[in-house]
Amino acid sequence: MRIAINGMGMAGPTLAYWLRRSGHDPVLFEKAPAARSGGYLIDFWGLGYEIAERMGIISTLREHSYVMERLRMVDRDGREEAHMDLAPLYEAHRGRFISLPRADLASALSSACQGIPVYFNVSIRAIAQDGADSIVTLSDGRQDRFDLIVGADGLHS
């Protein structure tokens, strides 16, 4: 099956990776002109950690991760109001807990998708049914046929 995926955040590349492994032909579209950089720090554990291991990217994620020992809450003058030792958290997850920048997670997921077509500065604008296929109209005016279309563009899906 040929599958269009709109969005290159976390879900789009992850889905594309697994679809290709299952024998499908995914194509990724991203409205941004390039892979996004920056973003917030993500705590990464549980099912996400397990999926990253299965994708073979956990060592890359660990290279870009931070080991935090203590979480502090401070007031506007920088005085500590509360804190929490994070060692019990790491112990509870048996070391399978990391914190890393969102951009580093997105980059590792995208790297796992080598060989999958990616189109930046393009997004899906319209979908029309044509028998068993769907005709997708892209933001650059092109049209293409797909068997399935997935919205993986965050809040905009």
Confidence class for position 75, pLDDT limits 50, 70, 90: very high
List, for residues 10-38, the tens digit of each pLDDT value.
999 999 999 999 999 999 999 999 888 88
Q: How far apart are CA 100 and CA 73, in angstroms?
A: 19
Q: What tokens were used for 156? A: 């905009």
Higher local confidence (pLDDT), 15 or 69: 15
Q: How far apart are CA 90 and CA 67, in angstroms?
A: 10
| Residues 106, 35 contacting (CB under 8 angstroms) | yes
What is the CB neighbour count within 10 angstroms for residue 14?
Answer: 20
136: enclosing H helix or E strand: strand 133-138
pLDDT over 70, % of the chain? 98
Range of the domain at 112: 2-156
* CATH code (residue 55): 3.50.50.60
Q: How far apart are CA 35 and CA 67, in angstroms?
A: 25
Backbone Cα Rg of the chain: 19
Q: How far apart are CA 33 and CA 50, in angstroms?
A: 31
Q: Between helices 102-111 and 11-21, what is the axis angle to 10°? A: 20
Alpha helices (H) in 46-101, listed in sequence order: 46-55, 58-63, 87-92
Find all residues with CB under 8 Å of 31, minimum gap 6, and list them. Answer: 121, 122, 123, 139, 153
Confidence class for position 156, pLDDT limits 50, 70, 90: low
Q: What tokens were used for 47? A: 């099912």
Q: How many domains does the chain have?
A: 1
| Mean pLDDT computed over every residue of the chain | 92
| Residues 145, 1 contacting (CB under 8 angstroms) | no
What's the distance, Cα to Cα, between the start and end of the chain in Å?
A: 21
